[in-house]
Structure formats: C-alpha cells, structure tokens
Amino acid sequence: MPSYTAPTDDFRFIFFELLKIDESTDLPGYEQLDEALVSDVLEGAGKFCAEVLQPLNQVGDEHGCVFENGVVRTPPGFKEAYDAYCESGWNRLGAPEAYGGAALPAVMTFAVSEMAFSANQAFTMYPGLTSAAYSALAATGDRWMRETIVPKMIAGEWAGTMCLTEPHCGTDLKLMKSKAVEQEDGTYRLTGTKIFISGGDHDLTDNIIHMVIAKIPDEDGKLANDLSTVNFFMVPKVLVNEDGSLGPRNGVTCGSIEKKMGIKGSSTCVMNFDDAVAYRLGPAPKKKKDGGGTQKSKSQGMSGMFGMMNAARMGVGIQGVAIGEVAYQNAVTYANERIAGRALTGAKNPDDPADPIIVHPDVRRMLLQARSFVEGARAVAMWISHLFSVQRSQRSDEEKQDAADLTNLMTPIIKAFFTDMGFEATNAAMQCYGGHGYVRDHGMEQFVRDARINQVYEGANGVQALDLVGRKLTANGGRAPGVFFKLVDDYVAAQSANAEMAPFITPLKTGVQRLKDTTTWLAEHGLKNFDHAGAASVDYLRLFGIVTVGYMWARSAEIAQRRIAEIDAGGDGNKAFYETKLINARFWMERVMPDTASLHERATAGADTIMALDAASF
C-alpha cells in the first residue's frame, strides 16, 4: 500500500526564503500570509490529503466509475471524501470572502492542489475542474449567474466541467459541429456531442454546470468552417430557477464513460447535448464582413475559453510535479527496505545477507532524477503562481507587464515539460522496484498509468510546443523571451564573482546561451519554413524547461549556501535540509543541464529529414 507525506518543509522554503512572500504584503491576499497561517494551511491540507484522499487512491483505481441506466456512480468513499473536502473548505481557499472563501492567492491554492493531486489525482480533478469553471463563469457570466450559480459551485454544492473536445475534433476547434441556436428570450438551444469530458456526470453533487464551446449558425443554419462563430456557453445539467432552486432536467445526458488506462476514479464521459438550454457568456456577437461581403459573427467566447484552459494547463503541469513527488517518496521507502547485492565499494551492512538497494549508484541516479525535477519544478510553479498576483497588483506597469509576459511564456512549458518529466520521474521511481513495481501490490504501476494522461489532455504536449514557438516567442516582437533572458543574465552576472556558486552559475550560463542560440536559429529559419519551427518545437520546449528549472536551482543553492554558513556560525536551522538542497542542485547542473547541448543540436538540425518521406513510406 503506497503512502504520502506532504512536502511542507519544501513549500515553506520556497515561500519564505526563495519568494519571500511575507515581504509582498502589497499583493492582493498576501497581507495575511504570515508563517503561522501558511503553516496551518500546509499542515492541515497535508494531513487531510494523507489521511482521507490517499487511502482512496487505489480504491478508485480498482473500482473505477460505474455507468448504469444513464447514471454515473463514483468509487466507494469518493462522495464522503468530497463532502468532507468541501466542509473543510479546501475547495474554496482562493474564493472571495463574500462567497465563504479564504481569498488566498494562487501560491497557496496551487500548493494545496499539488498535495491533493499527489494523494489522489482522480479525486482531485472533480473540485479542480469546478474551480476552473466557476472562475470562468465569474469572469464572463451575467450578474444573475455570478449571484446564483457561482456561490453554489464555490460551496461545492454544484460541480463544473469544461466541454471542448468532440469525436471528430480535438485541438482543431474550427472542425466543431456543436451548434447553438438563439431563441427569442435570448437563450440558446445547444445540440452536439462532446467526448473525454472529465467529471461530465457523477453522483457527488446535485447539479453540474457545463462550460461549453459551440458555433452559432448563420441565417441559413450553416456552420462556418472557422473560429469566427465559436462562442462560450453555460449549460446546466439541471435548469436553475430565478431563486437558485433546481428546476427541470436540461437536455444534457451522459452517453457512456470511457474505459481508460488510468485515473479510473475520475468519470470521463461522452456528453450529449440535445436541444439543451444554453446561456451565452460574454457580449453579443458583433457582425463583421469578410472579403466577399458575407456577414460573420466575431467570436466572443474564445477569450473566456482560453482563460479557463490556461488555468487548467497550469494545474495539469502541477499534476506532473505531484505524481512525481508521491512516486519518489514511495521509491525511497522501498530502496531503503529492499536488500539485494552489495555496495560496489564494500558491504555497508555486513551483518545482513545483502545491502539495501539504495547503496547502488543507478538506484540513487533514478531517485535524484525524480527529486531534482520535483523540487526544481515546484519552485518554478510557485514562482509563476506568485507572478499571477503581481499582474493583479498596484505595482508599476513595467513590473506587471513583465509578470504577464513571463506567465504567458511559461504556461506551455509548465504544462508540457512538467508532465513529460513527471512521467519520467514516476517511471524511474517504478523502476526502483524492479518486478515488484510492475505488479499492483505496491501501487507504483497505478502512478505510471495515472501520470500518462497528463501529457495528453488540455492540449497534447506537442501542441504546447507549437504554441511556444509559434505564438509565445514571437508575441509583441519577442518581448517575453527577452524578459526571461535578462532575468537570468542579470542573476548570472550578479553571482559571477562568487566562487562558491561556480558549480551552479557556470552550467546555467552555458545552458541559457544554448537556449539563446536556438532561439536565434528559430527566428532565422522558422519563419522561412514553418516545418523547421515545428520540427524543433518539442526539443526547444524541453531545452527551455531545463534552463528554467536550472535558474530556480541556482537561486535555491545560493540560499542554501548562505543558510549553512549562518547555521555553522551558531544560527538556527536544519543544516541537513540545506545540504540536501545543494546536492539536488548539483545533480541538475551535472546530470540534466548537459542535455541542453544535444537538444540544441537536434532543434537546429532542421526539418528536411523529418519531412523527407512521403506518407506511404512510413
């Protein structure tokens, strides 16, 4: 049976030593983030996740969700855990106080989300999707929606979903066939089928609010073969009366649930919308003329949808960190208990028939690979979460613009790099078990299966790479990568005279130079031939991710060195914690940062070989 312990010490290190959130009282919600409150939240959430959610993780995998007679039932214990989760307030930490929330900033809500995803990814998807849905509804919905529906969702009484994908249409949204026809009363009637809808139906709440994208047909009832008429709609499973009470059932049904590789406790549904009452979100579509004089309605829903999806992509990236964390923890326990062979330098436990496998270099390599990624990526995720609050603050326009540029730039990197590396870390952790990792007893194979979906949903990682090179790099004349390069360059320059930091600064400087060189190559070749950009995109994103995590490790190492010196001089602190930080930072610089060389070579090799074969030759 696997176990989980929340990494509260690491969160405290990131919050108070790396980000210094207690010194940012000018940011919204930060005025209350003293060490006592933060510790209470971290410890309380960690205990709930370990004692309530984690024991249900294997239960959810073994039982899965059940679909019978049009009704979806979640695994045993999920309903009780969901009620306890909401009663404890973990679902509304970031919600406004007027709605019963704690109004905590993103750094805290994402920290708690990571813990919950580590403990039980399938369960945590239900409240996670609801949070994304009510945030989008609060931002784009009419007043009556904000006053009547949003509070129910924040309280956990009603759930929410994102309904985007169709059987014939995933990423290419212009192929959508779902349509919404306007009615005389201003509502719409929405018809279509959506697939892969997480939490599309379940027994946790009395109502589910679906956030749906669909096309508005023209006067002849035809759908445009582009994004011009795509709009964003709220479609409740059960209609809502003016007083907030539930009315009749809407034309929304679950057609089936998917038989999946992992996250079996999360209901992944085929959802059918049959002339369902829908409410358009955002202003009424404006008419515009195309080149031929045809009237088309400009999309008003895409901004709301992308806002919801970007929040989800950040959350999925954190799921990559979360699954890597719990897999690592269990692999460490096993590596200390399992005995096999002797240490290469001589027996460490001569009175026993063999040494624990943690003495073997390759086992240690796999564990350090997982841990250096998890802790470095966690620092990046919390840094970007912190910048979300900077964007909404009263700080200077320049600082807010830099924060916005960095968060936009990092969103595809966090989603794709973190989930790729999270899967690799989880797979490495399972490898530590040998054959015992492949069987169900230890729970490791479930972690691998659960981790795999993170690379696929909310935009497959190849699509994230295309978004990075095709949009994020070039937006506003390449302003965002310029902000990042200056940030790293300034830090490298500031530390260049510090001899103790050389093991961290020298590799970082080399890595960021390779990233710059690859960026320059893309600017020169990618615009001339888009296939060059596409062929380079995945390697480029990984290169960017390695350097970004390396930047966080260098900063963490600087803090650790200073704190060790203070403790040696008689100060308080856990010296072993900081010494471990330095080892993990060294591992990243020595064993991962060198990958930037091969990634640079691959990314700049061009697309000629990749595109050379015709389709029939594959």
Measured between alpha carbons, how far is 618 from 381 in angstroms, rounded to an integer?
39
Helix (H/G/I), strand (E/B), else coil: 211: strand
Task: Count the residues in the chain.
Answer: 618
| Identity of the residue numbered 303 | S
Residue 37, CA distances (Å) to 27, 40, 41, 295, 533 in order: 16, 5, 6, 56, 47
Among 263, 203, 242, smallest CA distance to 450 is for 263
Rounded Cα–Cα distance for residues 7 and 49 (Å): 12
Residue 589 DSSP symbol: I
Would you tell me how many other CB atoms lie within 10 Å of the CB of residue 307?
16
Q: Return the DSSP state at 468.
A: I
Give the tokens for residue 327.
Answer: 């897999």
Question: Cβ(123)–Cβ(60) under 8 Å?
Answer: yes
Residue 566 among the catalytic residues? no
Q: Tell me which residue of 421, 427, 429 sits closest to 363, measured CA to CA.
A: 429
Q: What are phi and psi of 72, to 5 degrees?
A: -105, 130
Q: Read off φ and ψ for residue 266, nearest 5 degrees.
A: -100, 125
Tokens linked to 108: 């805290």
Measure the CA angle with vertex 451, ends 583 and 131; round to 5°: 100
CA angle 27, 306, 144 (to 5 degrees): 75
* Catalytic site residue from 458, 558, 590, 601: 458
CB atoms within 10 A of CB 280: 24
- DSSP annotation of 328: H
- Can you tell me the distance from the alpha carbon of 282 to that of 161, in angstroms, rounded to the nearest whole number? 18
Report the alpha-carbon distance of residue 588 to residue 369 in Å, rounded.
Answer: 8
E-only strand ranges, 282-359:
287-289, 295-297
Report the DSSP pairing between strands 158-163 and 207-215. parallel
Q: Maximum distance among all alpha carbons in the chain?
A: 88
Count of CB atoms within 10 A of residue 237's CB? 24
Distances in Å between the Cα of 44 and the Cα atoms of 52, 56, 223, 359 are 12, 18, 51, 35
254 close to 247: Cβ distance less than 8 angstroms: no
Cα-Cα-Cα-Cα dihedral sign, residues 354, 355, 356, 360: negative
Residues with catalytic function? 458
